Amino acid sequence: MTPEFVVTFAQEAIKVTILVSMPMLGLGLVVGLLVSIFQAVTQIHEMTLTFVPKILIVLVALLFFANWMLERLMQFATTTIEQIPLYLR
% the chain with pLDDT above 70: 99
> Which domain covers residue 82, as residue numbers?
3-87
Rounded distance, CA 10 to CA 46, Å? Answer: 41
Model pLDDT, residue 2: 81
Average pLDDT over every residue of 72-84 = 93
Work out how many domains the chain is built from and give that number.
1
Q: Is the pTM of this model over 0.85?
A: no
41-63 pLDDT, tens digit per residue, is 988 888 888 889 999 999 999 99
User: Which stretches of 1-89 are DSSP H helices?
Assistant: 3-42, 47-82, 84-87
Does the pLDDT of residue 84 top 90, yes or no?
Answer: no
Question: Coil, strand or helix: which one is 89?
Answer: coil
Please name the residues in contact with 72: beta carbons below 8 A apart, sequence gap of 6 or more: 16, 19, 20
